[in-house]
Each structure stands twice: as C-alpha cells, then as structure tokens.
Structure 1
Amino acid sequence: MNPQVAAAVGARLRETRRVRALSVGALAARAGVGKGSLSEIENGVRNPTLSTLYALAGALGVPLATLLAERAGAEIASPGIVARLLDATRHADGTTVEVYLLHLDPGARHPSTAHGPGVVEHLLVTHGRVRAGPSGRETEAGPGETLTWESATTHAYRSLGDTPAEAVLTIRSPSRDDDQRE
C-alpha cells in the first residue's frame, strides 16, 4: 500500500471509529487486533493486511471499501492474495456494492470472517480454478463460472492447481441503520 493510501485508510478508520464512539482499545478488542497495531494503522505508519482490515470493518459494521476510503485502485493484501478495489457505490437506499479484482497465488487459501447479515458475494473466475464459499460448503469454479453465497458466516477462497487464479468479486451489503452517520 502506498503511503498516501495508507494515510487515507488510517484517517477513514479513525473517523469511523470515532463516529461509532469506540476507543482504540475497544475497537482493537472487538476486531482481535493489537492496540498498538491499530494505532499505527490509524496514523498511516503500518500497512494493514486484508485480513486485518476485514476484521476492523466487521467490528465497525462497515463495508471494507469504507475503510479503503472508496479509492479505486487501492490494493490490500494478505499472504497469497491481493485485492484491488475497482469500484464502490453507495446507493440512495444505503446499499453498498463493492467490486474487487482478486489475485490468488497458486495453492493460496484465504479465510474470511463473516461480513454481516444480508451481505452477498458474487465471484466471477477469470483465470485459473478457485474453490470458494461458506466454510465447509465451498464449491469449485473455473474461467467464466460464477459462485454466489451469503457471507454472514466465515468463508474462504482457495486457488487450485499450480497457476495463479484471478477473479472479480462483487460484495453487496444492505443498508445498516448506523451507516447514515458516516
């Protein structure tokens, strides 16, 4: 993550935490993140992983794109996976639609925490083979195939085979009452 994006992510994270009236310690505990790490992320001096940002977004009850400051092109990574935000749209009814380009290294597996009730993911595989979906119920897809699931439970993405996999991921989040405060 470049320094400008890291600073924007940190500022958005701090602003969202304050709107929710949470201390650094309270958010860190909710998200399972170290208090010092959270402080460094908020100050733009530490690059968070994809897993860490998802944990923070979940604890705050906001879509991941909110913490990425809706910056198209922002990339976030965890071991074996890179997600690039292509678009984020908040509709008048409060529904948020996020679109990401995912790159999974060969054999990589990325677990993801639950995103909340009513959140639906659509994964269009563009290259390679992927196994994805709710934990214990993952299904396989190849180029041109789509997987869809409600992500209110833990779920995972796994690249199959010895080549990288790429996919377009769309996440549709329903309006949440407290989203209007942002």
Structure 2
Amino acid sequence: MTTGSRDGGDGHGEGLHGEGRQGDGTELARILDGIGPRLRGLRRERGLTLEALAATTGISVSTLSRVESGKRRPTLDLLIPLARAHRVALDQLVAAPPSGDPRVHLRPLHRERGSVLVPLTQYPGRVQVFKQVLAPRPPELVVHEGYEWLYVLAGRLRLILGAEDFTLRPGEVAEFDTTEPHWFGPADETSVEILHLFGPRGDQAVVRAGPSTPTPRGPEDGGGLHQARLSDTRPSLE
C-alpha cells in the first residue's frame, strides 16, 4: 500500500535538533536518541505493523523504520500524527526527564463532533486507560487487533458487536475482542461518559463481578450476549 509522504528530506538534524546550542546539546541528543526506541515499543505494544501505522499516519514505511531505528531524527510534523496514532501526549513521546511525581496530569483531547478523550495512564503500558465523553454520531463499524473493556459512568451507551446490538446503562460493563466488527457511542441524542481500557491481544482486563449473572437486554436492545459480557455490578481490575 502506498501512503502520503511526510518525509521532507533525509537530514538527521532537522526540526527538533538544535545544533547551535552547545550547552544543552548532550541532554537534547539523549532525549532525541530515546524517541525511536520509544516509538518502536509503542507500536509493538499495540500490535501494529509498520504498514498499518503508515496507513494510519500517512508517513511512509521507510521513514517510520528509520525514525524507530534512530537513523533519522523526527520532526514535529512526524511526531504529531504518531502521538495521535499511539494515543499519547506529545511530551510523553519525547519523554522529558521524570519528576518523581506519581500523579497523572490529565490533558483532555478534544475530538471531532464534541467528543473528549482523557488519558488516565501517565506512561503507555500494555493496557491503556481512558475516560471518554462520546457525543452523538452515526455508527461506523471498525475492526483491529486488541481487546477492549468499557464501563458506563453516565448516560446510555450503544454497543454494536457483529450482528448484535446492546444498550448499556451506568454501572454496566462490556468486554470484547476487537477483531469482531464493532462500534460504540451514545444510545440517544445525549452524550455518554465511559471508562475505556484497551490492550493488545492477550492483555485482557480481568473483570470481577458480584454474584449476579449478566442478563441480556430485551429484543429492542439487541438480545443475547454474543461476545460481549455485561454486568450491572461495579468491577474491580487486576
């Protein structure tokens, strides 16, 4: 597959490399040298190939490979789409030195159509956690590698999973394999607020529920459970 190019030349020092600053050159070089391995780690944690990431970002496979291997220093026009694709903040991508503060400083990301995404994990690991406010939008089913876990905080969430259609209310949980065609969003014209956990294949969130058995919705809300497992009790994770 051919993709749009953001290559912009073969220079190793463009964009973020301040060649004229001798005083902080060593620290800057150390930060820049760490970006490539960090990008490779993020891509592998998400189970993405270079080709899949190229299709998402519009950056050529050869450029992605050279940035990850450290053969090319990344520019901002490369880092911004990569940060979006990996669902991390730009400063996390360049990894400023740690301050020792364990608190996560929330940075809401405003999406199109009024949706808001708030990353709740400070550094990307095998499972990423987000708080999302989803605005009404038409369904559009997608398929990708991974496993997702959704917990409804407020509003009503509609989940389409293959041929099944579910409605979840506050306190209810769904978890499913994302290789099944799926879509989720508000069940009506009001926004819905959820907690959203996503991990690559095999890194599944373990949900513990109370003694009650998950009950499928009525026919008007989609019928059986299919591959989504629903519970109306508050889960704990391990």
Question: Residues of 2 paired with 1:152 and 1:164: CA distance?
Answer: 26
Cα 1:73–1:154 shift into 2, 3 Å: farther
Aligned residue in 2 for 1:82: 116
Question: Residues of 2 paired with 1:164 and 1:153: CA distance?
Answer: 24
What secondary structure does 1:96 align onto?
coil
Cα 1:65–1:133 shift into 2, 3 Å: farther
Q: Is the 8 A contact 1:89 1:97 kept in 2?
A: no
Give yes or no for the alignment of 1:106 onto 2:136.
yes
Deviation at 1:166, TM superposition (A): 0.7
Question: Residues of 2 paired with 1:97 and 1:35: CA distance?
Answer: 25
Aligned residue in 2 for 1:132: 159
Deviation at 1:162, TM superposition (A): 1.8
Alignment RMSD? 4.3
Amino acid at match of 1:169: H
Q: Is the 8 A contact 1:49 1:77 kept in 2?
A: no
Question: Residues of 2 paired with 1:152 and 1:138: CA distance?
Answer: 16
Cα 1:149–1:17 shift into 2, 3 Å: same
Larger relative contact order (C-alpha < 8 A, sep ≥ 6)?
A: 1
Q: Which has the larger radius of gyration?
A: 2
Count matched residues.
Answer: 142
Unmatched 5+ stretches in structure 2: 1-32, 44-48, 68-73, 96-103, 204-238
Question: Residues of 2 paired with 1:129 and 1:157: CA distance?
Answer: 10
Amino acid at match of 1:146: V
Indicate the percent of aligned positions where both proteins have the same amino acid.
19
Aligned residue in 2 for 1:73: 106
Question: TM-score, with normalisation over the residues of structure 1?
Answer: 0.54
Aligned residue in 2 for 1:35: 59
Task: Pick one of 27, 44, 57 that aligns with 2:76.
Answer: 44
Amino acid at match of 2:131: L
Deviation at 1:136, TM superposition (A): 3.3
Question: TM-score, with normalisation over the residues of structure 2?
Answer: 0.44
Unmatched 5+ stretches in structure 1: 1-10, 21-25, 58-63, 176-182
Aligned residue in 2 for 1:170: 197
